[in-house]
Structure 1
Amino acid sequence: MSTIPLLVCDDSNMARKQLIRALPSNWPFRISQATNGREGLEAIREGLGQVVLLDLTMPEMDGFGVLAKLREEGLQVDVIVVSGDVQEEAVRRAKALGAKAFIKKPADPLQLAEALNALGVDIPLTRAPSAPAEAFSDLPNVSFRDAFREVTNIAMGRAAELLGRVLGVFIQLPIPNVNILEVGELHMTLADAQRGERLSAICQGYIGGGIAGEALLVFHDAEINDVAKLLNTQEDESAKLEMLLDLASIIIGACLNGLSEQLNINLSQGHPLVLGQHCPIEDLIRINQRRWKRTLAVEISYSLEDMDIHFDLLLLFTEDSLPRLREKLDFMID
Structure 2
Amino acid sequence: MSPPVLLICDDSSLARKQLLRALPLDWQVTVEQVDGGSAALERIRQGGVDLMLLDLTMPEMDGYQVLACLREEAHDCQVIVVSADIQEQAVRRVLSLGAKAFIRKPADPLQLLRTLADLGLLNALRQIGERGQGESIGFRDAFREVVNVAMGRAAALLAHVLGVFIQLPVPNVNILEVGELHMALADAACRDRLTAVCQGYIGGGIAGEALLIFHDSDIRDMARLMGSGDSYQDMEMLLDLSSLLISACLSGIAEQIDLVFSQGHPQVLGQHASIAELINVNRSRWRKTLAVELSYSIEGHDIHFDLLLLFTEDSVELLSRKIAYLVN
TM-score, scaled to structure 2: 0.97
Indicate conservation of the 8 Å contact 1:81/1:102, yes or no: yes
**What's the counterpart of residue 169 of structure 2?**
174
Deviation at 1:197, TM superposition (A): 0.8
Offset of residue 240 of structure 1: 1.3
User: Aligned residue for 1:223?
Assistant: 218
Q: Secondary structure at the match of 1:76?
A: coil
The percent of aligned pairs where both chains have the same amino acid is: 60
SS in 1 for 2:59: coil
Amino acid at match of 1:202: V
2: CA distance, partners of 1:11 / 1:206: 29
Deviation at 1:282, TM superposition (A): 1.2
Structure 2 contact 10–16 (Cα < 8 Å) conserved: yes
Per the alignment, residue 330 of structure 1 pairs with 324
State the distance in 1 between where 2:145 and 2:27 align: 25
Shift of residue 309, structure 1, vs aligned partner: 0.5
Amino acid at match of 2:257: L
Change (3 A) 1:313 1:189: same
Shift of 1:14: 0.7
- Contact 1:24 1:123 (C-alpha < 8 Å) held by counterparts: no
Q: Is residue 80–residue 100 contact of structure 1 (8 Å, CA) maintained in 2?
A: yes
Q: Does residue 278 of the first structure (1) align with residue 272 of the second (2)?
A: yes
Match of residue 131 from structure 1:
130
Q: Which amino acid aligns with 1:210?
A: G
Contact 2:188 2:306 in 1 (8 A): no
Contact kept, 8 Å, 1:10 with 1:16, in 2: the verdict is yes
Secondary structure at the counterpart of residue 142 of structure 2: helix
Matched, 1:162 2:157: yes
- Aligned-pair CA distance for 1:118: 1.5
Secondary structure in structure 2 of the residue aligned to 1:94? helix
* AA matched with 1:194: A
Q: Aligned-pair distance for 1:290?
A: 1.7
Letter in 1 for 2:42: E
Q: CA shift at 1:129, angstroms?
A: 3.8
Alpha-carbon contact 2:8-2:32 (below 8 Å) kept: yes
Instruction: Tell me which moved more, 285-294 or 101-110.
Output: 285-294
Measure the CA separation in 2 of the matches of 1:133 and 1:318: 35
Q: 2:105 is matched with which residue?
A: 105
CA–CA distance in 1 between the matches of 2:315 and 2:125?
40
> Which residue in the other structure is 2:178 paired with?
183
How many residue pairs match? The answer is: 328
Counterpart Cα distance in 1 of 2:8 and 2:180: 35
What's the counterpart of residue 54 of structure 1?
54
**Mapped contact 2:20–2:131 kept (Cα < 8 A):** no
Q: Deviations over 1:137-184 (max 9, x none)?
A: xx2221101000000000010111011111111000010000000111
CA contact (8 A) 1:116 1:123 kept: no
Q: 1:280 offset after TM fit, Å?
A: 1.1
Q: Counterparts of 1:294 and 1:77 in 2: how far apart (Å)?
A: 47
Contact 2:166 2:297 in 1 (8 A): yes
Question: Could you give the per-residue CA deviations for residues 274-300 of structure 1, whole angstroms, max 9, x where no partner exists?
Answer: 111111111111122122121000000
5+ long unaligned stretches in structure 1: none
Distance 1:48 1:32 in 2: 11
After superposing the two structures, state which structure 1 stretch, 152-161 or 43-52, moved more.
43-52
SS, match of residue 130 in structure 1: coil
Residue by residue, what CA displacement relative to the aligned partner does 1:106-155 show, whole Å, maximum 9, x if unpaired?
000001111111121125435x4413425xxxx22211010000000000
Aligned-residue CA RMSD (Å): 1.4
Is 1:246 aligned to residue 245 of structure 2? no
Question: How far apart, in 2, do the equivalents of 1:313 and 1:239 lie?
Answer: 21
The residue identity in structure 2 corresponding to 1:181 is L
CA–CA separation in structure 1 for the residues paired with 2:114 and 2:170 = 29
Task: Give the gaps of 5 or more residues in structure 2.
Answer: none
Is 1:28 the counterpart of 2:23? The answer is no
Q: Structure 2: which amino acid aligns with 1:159? A: A
The structural deviation recorded for 1:231 is 1.8
1:321 alignment partner, one of 312, 315, 318:
315
Is the 1:182–1:293 Cα contact (8 Å) retained in structure 2? yes
3-state DSSP of counterpart to 2:314? helix
In the alignment, the residues of structure 2 paired with residue 200 and residue 254 of structure 1 have an alpha-carbon distance, to the nearest angstrom, of 21
Match of 1:310 in 2: 304
Structure 1 position 263 matched with structure 2 position 262: no
Aligned letter for 1:141?
A: S
Provide, for residues 231-264 of structure 1, a one-character-per-residue CA deviation record: whole Å limited to 9, x for no partner: 223446x721111000000110000000011011
